Structure formats: structure tokens, C-alpha cells
Amino acid sequence: MRNDTGDGTRVNASERTRWVCERAREMGFDLCGVALVEGLEDLGHFPEWLARGYAGEMNYLRDDRRADPRVVLDGARSLIVVALNYNSPPPYSTKIPTGRENEPARGWISRYAWGDDYHEVLKENLDALAAEMRQKFSEPFDVRVYVDTGPIIERVAAKYAGLGWLAKNTCLINQQLGSWLFLGVIITTLALEPTLAAGAAPPPDLCGSCTRCLDACPTDAFPEPYVLDARRCISYLTIELRGTIPQELRAGMGNAVIGCDICQDVCPWNRKAPVTNIPPFQPRLLAPQASVTNKPEECAEPSLFAPALEWLASLTQQEFSATFRKSAVKRAKWRGLVRNACVALGNSHIARDSEEYVRVVRMLEELAADQDAILAEHARWALDRLKAPRSNSAAGRACN
Ligand code: SF4
Ligand code: SF4
């Protein structure tokens, strides 16, 4: 079927797909593909995953519309899926030396949250792409734009748009780019030709016999390959969970304060993943008044790359808001971040004869007397750990 474009020429579904994907690439997206709204077979696993309770308190995932994009938008036909590389240059969490002298205890903020909030960055660009589509194609059509916030499972759409495979660590992996990819989707009533020819299989699963991600997960969050029990995942515990972190999982959290990258850091497909220098995804620099202890050896300036735990745990609500304005860290909220920093301090190995130890113990004692019962309990747990006799074994990713 051919339709008029805004400039009077006539194009078919195949030409539209080519134009959309070329335009997405010109706008800076690394990958773009199109899937039909029907036949997303992997969505069929989702109800069972929910029924097993693996979503924990993420009740927004129970939205029935997730089972079928056609319910999201009346008359929907196509899913345009884009990916943007966020693999900024600082090293992987698994490559940072631990236990260096004179280095303060450091926390780990997940790579995706170092810079500006990716939801906003991608949404702005996808909105611009949708606006250009309206100018280009004259026939009336509807769109909805989603970046991890709507009832669309982006990674499943990405698989069927030919962008990669759904790996044992449940991430989408692209053979050339690895898994450090932000995904966004435009669902539209416009007829577009799918990237994969009719009957063609999505990209093959190249995990093979590898189990590195499953073996490396410090909280055993994979009950089986390709299945994540979010309730045990550090990303969920540090960002989504509002209440008390289960005590039996705290030691495994190591120094994580926002998210966890371990199952991606160890993946062989990320060893040669291209690095991006897109400014919004570089570690946010901290204000000069932030302690100088926030500059790890790997960084020229203090930033959100491995910031000092003492600084994180001491942030006031106002400082939190100023530091994490337009940042994905906001989702954890001030209370969550301080709670997480307490856990990471409890897992740290700060030398007992150091000034840092004295300051941290004093700060935790103040938090342990806080009116907020959750903060107080996590601070007490951290104090007990810091003061307990030490063994040589370090749990999870060490803090120093
Ligand atoms: Fe495990 Fe961390 Fe991966 Fe979650 S993000 S599954 S805790 S390795
Ligand atoms: Fe697949 Fe191995 Fe990467 Fe896990 S670490 S996602 S098993 S290739």
C-alpha cells in the first residue's frame, strides 16, 4: 500500500521503515528496528514470572496492557525500537582495585545512572522523531512514546525488531554493541514493514554454554538462566524497594548504593563494547563543596563514579535534590540512598585506626537514633558490622 508523504511523494511500508530508521540513526541512536505488534512470543512468559512473585513490590508491572501492545494504543500496528549506547569510559565495577591505602570507602552507582536521566534524554529524541514522522507522512496516525515508563516491555520489542537476543542475564545483547543499551519504543498505528522478513527468526542467542553472569550474581537473583527474581536483585533492593532490605541479602550487596552492573560487567559480549562520549551519559561532576574524598584515582574530578560512601550517607534531603536533579538516582529517593549507603558502609572494611572510621561510626550512631525507623535499623546493622570482629573474607563487591 502506498501513501502520500508530507512532501507529496508516495511511499510504501518498506520505504517508511527505511526512512524512519535512517532518520533515527541521523538523530544519534545507535540502533533502530521495527517489529509488528503481533507475534511477540516472549511476552507469554510474563504472566508466569509475575505469578511466581518475582516482581516483588513493582505493582506497576502487573498492568495487563503489558501482555499485548495492541491494548496500549487502539489500532496499533508497529513498534519502532531504538537503542542508544551508554557505555561511558570509566572502568567496570569488577575492574576497580579494592583495598587501596588512603582511599575512602566508595559506593557503586550503576553506570546507567551516572549522568542525566536517560528517560528524559531518550524521550526528547523519540518525541522529535515522532514529530518528524508526522511531517513526512501525511496520512493520519497515532503514536505513543515510551522509555521504560509505559506498559511496553522494551527488550522484548527490541528482540523482535532484530536488535539483539535476550540473554541469560535477561538483558538485550547486540552482537556488535553489547548490552549497555538504553531502549525506547514508539508504538504507532502507521503501517511499517518489520525489520525481520516474514517468518525470519530474531537474532540468535549467543550465550552458548557461558554462565558468567549467573555465577557472578552476588545475591543469587537468577533462579534459572533467562529468569530474574527481582526481589533478590540489587537493582530492585536499592531503587524499587521502599522499606527494609532483607538482612540475608545485605552482605551480598557489597558497596552497591544505586543498582548493580555485575552481570553485565562480567559478560564477554561487553569486553569490546564501544565506548560513548555522549555528554549526558558521563559521570556527573560533583559540586566543589562535596568532599575531596569523592575523587577516586580513576577520575580527574569528583563525580558520581564510585563516590565516597561517607559523603553519600551524610547527604541532607536538600543536597540530595540538588545533586540528583534530572538524574535517574532520584527514583531511589533521599531516604533510600542513605539507607543503601548505610548497608554499603556496613559491608566496608574501613581501617579501625583511621579518621574515616571515627567519623563514619559517629555518623551512623546519629542515624541509629533517627526517628525514621528504617534508617535507624539499617544504621544499627552497619554499626554492628563495622564493630564486629573481622574475618578475611569479603562479601560481594568490596568497598575498600
Ligand atoms: Fe545480580 Fe547484580 Fe545482575 Fe541484579 S544486577 S541480577 S544483583 S548481578
Ligand atoms: Fe550470556 Fe555469558 Fe553474557 Fe551471561 S555472561 S549474558 S551467559 S554471554
pLDDT at 145: 96
Q: Are residues 267 and 140 in the same domain?
A: no
Segment of 58-62, 174-178, 199-203 carrying the highest mean pLDDT: 174-178
CA-CA distances (angstroms) from residue 351 to 39, 100, 104, 134, 366?
A: 57, 11, 10, 61, 20
Q: Looking at residue 194, what DSSP letter applies?
A: -
Confirm or reject: Cβ of 262 under 6 Å from ligand 1.
yes
> Looking at the predicted structure, is the pLDDT value of residue 102 above 50?
yes
Residue 205, in any domain of the structure: no
In single-letter form, the type of residue at position 32 comes to C
pLDDT at 288: 61
pLDDT at 134: 96
Residue 26: its H or E element: helix 13-26
Q: Are residues 121 and 227 in the same domain?
A: no
What span, in angstroms and rounded, lies between the C-alpha atoms of 148 and 159?
A: 15
Phi, psi for residue 353 in degrees, rounded to 5 = -95, 15
> Catalytic site residue 148?
yes
Residue 201, in any domain of the structure: no
Q: Are residues 172 and 313 in the same domain?
A: no
What span, in angstroms and rounded, lies between the C-alpha atoms of 43 and 400?
A: 42
Q: Which atom of ligand 2 is nearest to the CA of 173?
A: 6
Q: Which atom of ligand 1 is nearest to the CA of 216?
A: 8
Sequence-distant (6+) residues with CB within 8 A of 197 are none
CA of 239 to the centre of ligand 1 (A): 13
- Count up the domains in the chain and report the number: 2
Q: Are residues 184 and 224 in the same domain?
A: no
Q: Are residues 242 and 369 in the same domain?
A: yes
Q: Are residues 288 and 243 in the same domain?
A: yes
Confidence of residue 397 (pLDDT cuts 50, 70, 90): low
Sign of CA dihedral 77, 15, 120, 331: positive
CA of 346 to the centre of ligand 1 (A): 20
Residue 107, in any domain of the structure: no
Q: What is the pLDDT of residues 2-47, one digit of tens each?
A: 555 655 556 799 999 999 999 999 999 999 999 999 989 999 999 9
Please answer whether residues 319 and 237 qualify as being in contact, where contact means their C-beta atoms are separated by less than 8 angstroms. no
Range from 141-145, 157-161, 183-187, 390-394 carrying the lowest mean pLDDT: 390-394
Tally of CA atoms within 13 A in the half-sphere of 103 that contains its CB: 21
Q: Are residues 241 and 276 in the same domain?
A: yes
Quote the mean pLDDT of the chain: 92
What span, in angstroms and rounded, lies between the C-alpha atoms of 265 and 240?
A: 22
pLDDT at 398: 46
Q: What is the pLDDT of residues 275-314, one digit of tens each?
A: 999 999 999 998 765 655 666 766 656 899 999 999 999 9
Confidence of residue 394 (pLDDT cuts 50, 70, 90): very low
pLDDT at 399: 47
Residue 281, in any domain of the structure: yes
User: Residue with the nearest Cα to atom 4 of ligand 2?
Assistant: 213
Q: What is the pLDDT of residues 161-198, one digit of tens each?
A: 999 999 999 999 999 999 999 999 999 999 999 999 88
Q: Are residues 38 and 170 in the same domain?
A: yes
Residue 154, in any domain of the structure: yes
Residue 2, in any domain of the structure: no
Q: Looking at residue 372, what DSSP letter applies?
A: -
Residue 203, in any domain of the structure: no
Exactly one of 42, 68, 148, 370 is catalytic; which is it?
148
Confidence of residue 151 (pLDDT cuts 50, 70, 90): confident
Q: Are residues 44 and 161 in the same domain?
A: yes
Residue 309: its H or E element: helix 309-314
Q: Which atom of ligand 1 is nearest to the CA of 213?
A: 8
pLDDT at 386: 97
Residue 113: its H or E element: none
> Looking at the predicted structure, is the pLDDT value of residue 248 above 60?
yes
Ligand nearest to the CA of 108: 1
Q: Are residues 227 and 373 in the same domain?
A: yes
Q: What is the pLDDT of residues 229-244, one digit of tens each?
A: 999 999 999 999 999 9
Q: Are residues 216 and 184 in the same domain?
A: no
Structural domain span for residue 277: 212-396
User: Residue with the nearest Cα to atom 1 of ligand 2?
Assistant: 207
Residue 247, in any domain of the structure: yes
Ligand nearest to the CA of 214: 2
Q: Are residues 182 and 235 in the same domain?
A: no
> Looking at the predicted structure, is the pLDDT value of residue 108 above 70?
yes
Instruction: Convert 129-166 into a string of H (helix), E (strand) and C (coil).
Output: HHHHHHHHECCCCCEEEECCCCCCCHHHHHHHCCCCEE
